[in-house]
Amino acid sequence: MAEQLVIRAMGPLANEVITRRRPDLPNGSFTKADFFLKDLNVPVVLGRGEGRSAGIGESIAGEVKCGRASYIYSEKDHMVTQSFGHKEAAASLTICSRDVKDLLPHEEDELRSALREAGSPLVGMLPRKEEIDKACWETVSGFSQSSEQNADSRKEPSV
């Protein structure tokens, strides 16, 4: 769901959106980029520095991670590896759920630093995993917790 949120939000910036693109890595293995926005129709600035912007006709590659802080942190090396698959793009980024803010400060700094050095800095935040899970459940079930609370408040008090 988190990947789809990002792809649908950023997709209109490009003429083509490729998901699960499979770039080869220098060691002979491969990775899969979560999204590749090809042939941008507007210039995009993701921040300051090299690899932080892409012009019209260029591309952006990215990784999306959604999960609790411990999961996001445990995926650091994997995200760094995946960032090598973003090198063909003019700019790249990593987007994760807001749970990253639950890391210890030195862990968050370590994660951000590793991704920045790899060329796909952490630049955006999705809602917390719990919020995304809740939205998924409400979409699938057609039932929300707020509906349940409202229904409970309309019930006759028991005697």
Average of per-residue pLDDT values in the chain:
86
Q: For residue 58, is it within any domain?
A: yes
- Asked whether the beta carbons of 91 and 118 are under 8 A apart, the reply is no
Would 145 be classed as within a structural domain?
Answer: no
Is residue 147, in this structure, part of any structural domain at all? Answer: no
How confident is the model over 50-82, as pLDDT tens digits? 878 999 999 999 999 999 999 999 999 999 988
* Residue 70 belongs to some domain of the structure: yes
The answer to whether position 30 is within a domain reads: yes
- The answer to whether residues 92 and 58 touch, using CB atoms and an 8 Å cutoff, is no
Q: Can you read off the two tokens belonging to residue 149?
A: 């609370």
What tens digit of pLDDT does each residue of 99-113 get? 999 999 999 999 999
**In this structure, which amino acid lies at residue 155?**
K
Query: Chain centroid to CA 124: how far?
Result: 7
Structure confidence at residue 148 (pLDDT)? 52
Higher pLDDT, 141 or 26: 141
- Residue 27, domain member (yes or no): yes
Q: Which residue from 47, 73, 71 is spatially nearest to 60, judged by alpha carbons? A: 47
Q: Which helix (H) or strand (E) holds 33?
A: strand 33-40
Section 33-54 average pLDDT: 90
Range of the domain at 55: 2-140
Q: pLDDT at position 67, please?
A: 94
Q: Give the span between the Cα atoms of 32 and 85, in whole angstroms.
A: 7
Give the pLDDT confidence of 111-127 residue by residue, as tens digits: 999 999 999 999 878 99
- Retrieve residue 120's tokens: 């796909």
If pLDDT is split at 50, 70 and 90, which confidence band does 157 have?
Answer: very low
- Structure tokens of 5? 């949120």
Q: Between these two residues, 60 and 86, which has the higher pLDDT value? A: 60
**Domain annotation covers residue 127:** yes
In a domain, 61, yes or no: yes
Number of domains in the chain: 1
- Tokens 């409202």 identify what position? 150
